[in-house]
Structure formats: structure tokens, C-alpha cells
A and B are shown apart, each in its own frame.
Chain A
Amino acid sequence: MLEALQLPFIQRALIAGLLVGGLASYLGVLVVQRRLSFLGDGLAHAAFAGVAIGLFLHEEPLWIAIPFAVGVSLAITWVRERSNLGDDTAIGIFFAVSVALGVLFMSMRQGFAPDAVAYLFGSILTVTQVDLWVMGSIALVVALMAPLWRNWAYATFDRELALADRQPVLLHDYLLSALIALVVVASVKVVGIVLIAAFIVIPAATARLLTQTFASMTLLSVAIGVVSVIPGLVASYIFDVPTGSAIVLVQALLFALALAVRR
């Protein structure tokens, strides 16, 4: 096992897993607390459409998936702010359009698409140097915006009070949804489109069961998100199962434990 760490592709997988695990579980606390779990799913499928278009055009899929997912995320936020349709409906519409586009472009490609499967279910062992650079840059952006945690938390707690205190709540909403989209795209290679929503939500949900304050919930969620990647990776290496499944199952196990031990 330890000699496996010498292999560059294992090293890349480990770095990618830890980075993305931390990012997803950090934004996950806001996603969970704002009841936007479905947004993770919607954006994952927007990423899928972006990847499909990229594969169709023979471009690096990330370069299409990133702007596409960010655009969809901003559009969802825009519809949410402008109407009282409800988050689920706004997200559902974009979800459907994304899946339709994704399937359309996938079907227009000639022949079998093994790479498409990698995107659907994740394939952390094929993380490239480019993928790592992209993840690292996204992590940097999220880190630079860390001071906004206080504002996002405040508006999550009570939007009206945040507005009364002159917070630019709307601007912060757009920034948050753009970041969530970036993290979703970054997570595609690690856990796959199908499992991203769970990957974002489960650590935060587990943390909420065990904590009394939002700050401790955030810290614990990130800890769970990062730590659960390691056994997930090991299991996937030893038993040759998809990494995404292994990680998410480890997280689900932690969630069940938390549910059992909470006071």
C-alpha cells in the first residue's frame, strides 16, 4: 500500500481527493442549511451537459463544463430571486434541460464513449496534471472568499436581518452559487456526476448532527469530507471499485454512526 504512494497517478488521486473532499464539504454546510441539496444534483447534470458538449467538440471537457455549470448556477439563482416558484422548481427546470442537452450531445458522438462513463461515475485514478491545476485554482478562489463565510452564514441564518444590516445579500448569493458550480465541476472526476450531490451533503449533514454552532459544524464537516476520502481511496485501490462509491459509502457510514451516537 505504501509503495503505491510512490506512483504519480496515486499521488494525484490522493491530492485531488483531499482537495475536493475539503471543498465540497465546506460549501456543503451552506448547501445543507439553505436546503439546496437538489442544487448539487442540478449542477452535476449541468456539468454533465458541459462535458458532453466538450467531448462532442473534441475539446478538454472541463473548459466547457466550467462556464456551462457556472452559467446554469447563476441562472438558477436569478430565477429563484425573480419568482416565487420555489427552489426545487427553478432547479428542476435547468436540471431537465441539462440532461436533455447532455444526452443529445453524447448520442451525437460516433461510437462508444468510455470517457463518458468515467465522468458519470468518477475515475479518480485518471486525474491529470491539468485536472489538478484546475482543482487547485478553484481551491484558491474558495480560500480567498473564506471571509464571506460570515456573510453567507448570516444570510443563511436570517436573510431579513442580513438585509436590514445592509449586507449585499443578493451579490453574495450569486457568488456562492458560482462557487458551488465550480466545486461541483471540480468533483466530477473524483466522485462522478451521479454522486456529487451526496458528496456535498453527507459530511455537512453528519456534522450538523454533532455540533451546536455553525462554526463547529463547518469545521467538522470539512474534517469529515477530507478524512473520508482516504479509506475510500484505499478501498477503491485494493478492491478495484469506483472511488466515488467507496468514498460516499464511507461518508454514509459515518452519518449512520453520528445518528446513533447523537445525544
Chain B
Amino acid sequence: MTAPPVQLDNFSVRFGEFQALDRVTLEVPQGAFVAILGPNGAGKSTLLKALLGIASGILRDAPTSVSGSVKVFGNTPQNVKAGWVGYVPQVKSFDRSFPALSLEVVVSGLRRSWPFIVTLQERKKAEAMLEQVGALQLANRRLGRLSGGELQRVYLARSLIREPKLLLLDEPATGVDAVGEADLYRHLETYQRQSGATVMMITHDWEAAQHHASAVLLINRRVIEYGLPADVMCPNCLAQAFGHVGHSHGLVSGRR
């Protein structure tokens, strides 16, 4: 009996006076592809950071308080086996002036520290991963000089290189061209089929969520709806999440 990849129970996060997540209760079964949707500021990124155990780690101004429980594979996020969780952050907060090659960034995902010397084995592995996401030609380019979409690919390769059982993706398709986006979903689906991994992906793309996800989480500080895409994407649920009916209705039925 293995614990589910993600289990939240009455989980809340406050930044000072601001309630970012309000009593979130949620269980994600193994092998699921959960699309997380919600308006800006809904706490989506905060949710993923909580699963990584860094929701309160990087803050300098407002005191963060966290209550309720988060379990990842039955453990607190800090105690999950190294390499079980892969992550693509929304904001690429890295130092752009840091002299880093894409390949080194991928290797850093493998080692969980910065490589002084990249071994031949590591190089082969990282190159294979970059090739899978269509970014082999970026291997020896400076990270700080890549375009937004190129960065996404490098970060995706980085998040996959340890073959995580849980993949947390924060708007990984943002800035990626149409072909790249199709590629992204193809990679994720292939990876899931081969590994049985669980994917949680934040997106603002309703159609993609409908087509690729096995479950949709609608969130706006609290869980609005969580279930099969077809059930969740009802005009009413969206109205609740986004707080206005007409617009959200258009979002669901409209075609771009």
C-alpha cells in the first residue's frame, strides 16, 4: 500500500494578513495528470511551492504561516526521497549574469548542486535529455542568453533528468511556440506512459487542460472544483473561480 503522491488536508498559507491558500483538501492519485487552473493570484504557484516545501522558505518581508498538512508520497515535503519530485518554476528567478551553460543547468538537476566538472556520463545523460525536449542545440549556450521558450525547454529537461515520480510544472508552456507546446504535451504523455509518474501542471490554457489532463483542479485560494475535465469546466464552476459569468463562459466554449 503506497501513499498517494499528493495529499493535502485543510492546508492554508498566509502571507502576513493575506490568505493565499484557504483550507485546501486534495488528493492526487498516482499516474494522474492534473491541470491546475485559476485566476492570477489564486495561489496556484504557492500550492506547488508548498509541495516542494519552500512555500515559506524564500520570503523576506511578510511572516508566512502555514497550517494543515501536506503529504507527498506520505511524507512531509522536506523528507521526500531526493529526486522523486521534479519542478519547473514559473518565474525563472536565476541570476542571468551567472556564467552557466544550459548543459550545466540540466546536470545541476541531476546532482542537486552545481557541477565543478561535468563527467562524461553526466554529459551524455544531460544531452540525451535535452535532445528529448528538442533542445540539444542549446547544450553549450549561455543560459542567460536564451529566449523564454528555449529556457522552458532547458528547465523541462532539468526537471525530467532524475526521472521523478511527481512532476510539478508551473506554466511550462508559457513562451513556447505552437510546435513546442504540442511537443511538450507529447513528451509529458510519453514520459507518463513509460514511468507511471504523476503530473501537476499549472496552465491558463483551457483547451490544453481539457485535452490532456485526466483531472482539473479549479482553484481560487480555496478549491472551487476538482474532478474530471468535462465535469469541472462547467460555466458555473468557472464563474465561481473567476468571479464573473459571461467572460468565463466565453472562455470555455470559445475557440481561439
Measured CB to CB, the residues of A under 8 A from B are 33, 81-84, 149-151, 153-154, 156-161, 163-167, 169, 208, 211-218
Is residue B18 within 8 Å, beta carbon to beta carbon, of the partner chain? no
Q: Collect the chain B residues with CB atoms within 8 Å of residue A211's CB.
A: 99
Contact (Cβ within 8 A) A214 B60: no
Q: Collect the chain A residues with CB atoms within 8 Å of residue B114's CB.
A: 149-151, 153-154, 157, 214
Given A166-B82, A166-B112, A213-B101, is A160 in contact with B89 using a C-beta cutoff of 8 Å? Answer: yes
Contact (Cβ within 8 A) A158 B93: yes
Distance in angstroms between the alpha carbons of A218 and B99 in the assembled complex? 11
Contact (Cβ within 8 A) A164 B116: no
Given A161-B89, A161-B94, is A149 in contact with B116 using a C-beta cutoff of 8 Å? Answer: yes
Q: Collect the chain A residues with CB atoms within 8 Å of residue B111's CB.
A: 150
Chain B interface residue count: which class? 20 to 34
Stretch at the interface among B51-59, B198-206, B210-218, B236-244: B51-59
Question: Smallest CB-CB separation from A207: which chain B residue?
Answer: B99
Given A160-B54, A160-B58, is A215 in contact with B115 using a C-beta cutoff of 8 Å? Answer: yes
Question: Smallest CB-CB separation from A154: which chain B residue?
Answer: B114
Contact (Cβ within 8 A) A163 B58: yes
Measured CB to CB, the residues of B under 8 A from A are 52-54, 57-58, 60-61, 78, 82, 87, 89, 93-95, 97-101, 104-105, 108, 111-117, 142
Q: Collect the chain A residues with CB atoms within 8 Å of residue B94's CB.
A: 157-158, 161
Min CB distance B23 to A, Å, is 24
Question: Smallest CB-CB separation from A218: which chain B residue?
Answer: B116
> 20 other contacts beyond A160-B54, A214-B100, A215-B117, with CB at 8 A cut-off?
A33-B97, A84-B60, A149-B116, A150-B111, A156-B98, A157-B100, A157-B108, A159-B93, A160-B89, A160-B93, A161-B94, A163-B54, A164-B87, A166-B53, A211-B99, A213-B100, A214-B98, A214-B114, A215-B115, A218-B116
Contact of B57 among A84, A153, A163, A213 (CB under 8 A): A163
Given A84-B60, A157-B108, A161-B89, is A215 in contact with B116 using a C-beta cutoff of 8 Å? Answer: yes
Question: Smallest CB-CB separation from B80: which chain A residue?
Answer: A166
Q: Collect the chain B residues with CB atoms within 8 Å of residue A149's CB.
A: 114, 116
Chain A interface SS verdict (over half) = helix
Contact (Cβ within 8 A) A214 B99: yes
Q: Collect the chain B residues with CB atoms within 8 Å of residue A163's CB.
A: 52, 54, 57-58
Query: How many contacts between A and B, using CB within 8 angstroms?
Result: 86
Distance in angstroms between the alpha carbons of A165 and B158 in the assembled complex? 12
Q: Collect the chain A residues with CB atoms within 8 Å of residue B108's CB.
A: 154, 157, 161
Given A150-B115, A154-B113, A166-B112, is A159 in contact with B58 using a C-beta cutoff of 8 Å? Answer: yes
Given A84-B60, A159-B93, is A165 in contact with B101 using a C-beta cutoff of 8 Å? Answer: no
Distance in angstroms between the alpha carbons of A218 and B89 in the assembled complex? 28
Q: What are 18 inter-chain pairs, A to B, with CB distance below 8 A?
A: A33-B95, A33-B97, A150-B111, A150-B115, A154-B112, A157-B98, A157-B105, A160-B54, A161-B87, A164-B87, A166-B78, A166-B82, A169-B57, A212-B99, A212-B101, A212-B142, A214-B99, A214-B104
CB-based closest 8 A-B pairs: A153-B114, A150-B113, A158-B94, A165-B112, A84-B60, A154-B114, A84-B61, A164-B52
Min CB distance A158 to B, Å, is 4
Contact of B116 among A150, A165, A169 (CB under 8 A): A150
Contact (Cβ within 8 A) A82 B98: no
Given A151-B113, A215-B117, is A81 in contact with B60 using a C-beta cutoff of 8 Å? Answer: yes
Contact of B60 among A82, A150, A151, A154 (CB under 8 A): A82
Contact (Cβ within 8 A) A208 B57: no
Distance in angstroms between the alpha carbons of A81 and B61 in the assembled complex? 9
Max chain A C-beta neighbours (<10 A), residue from B78, B105, B113? B113
Q: Collect the chain A residues with CB atoms within 8 Å of residue B89's CB.
A: 160-161, 164
Distance in angstroms between the alpha carbons of A215 and B105 in the assembled complex? 13
Question: Smallest CB-CB separation from B62: which chain A residue?
Answer: A84
Distance in angstroms between the alpha carbons of A217 and B95 in the assembled complex? 15
Distance in angstroms between the alpha carbons of A208 and B99 in the assembled complex? 7
Question: Smallest CB-CB separation from A155: which chain B residue?
Answer: B114
Distance in angstroms between the alpha carbons of A222 and B101 in the assembled complex? 21
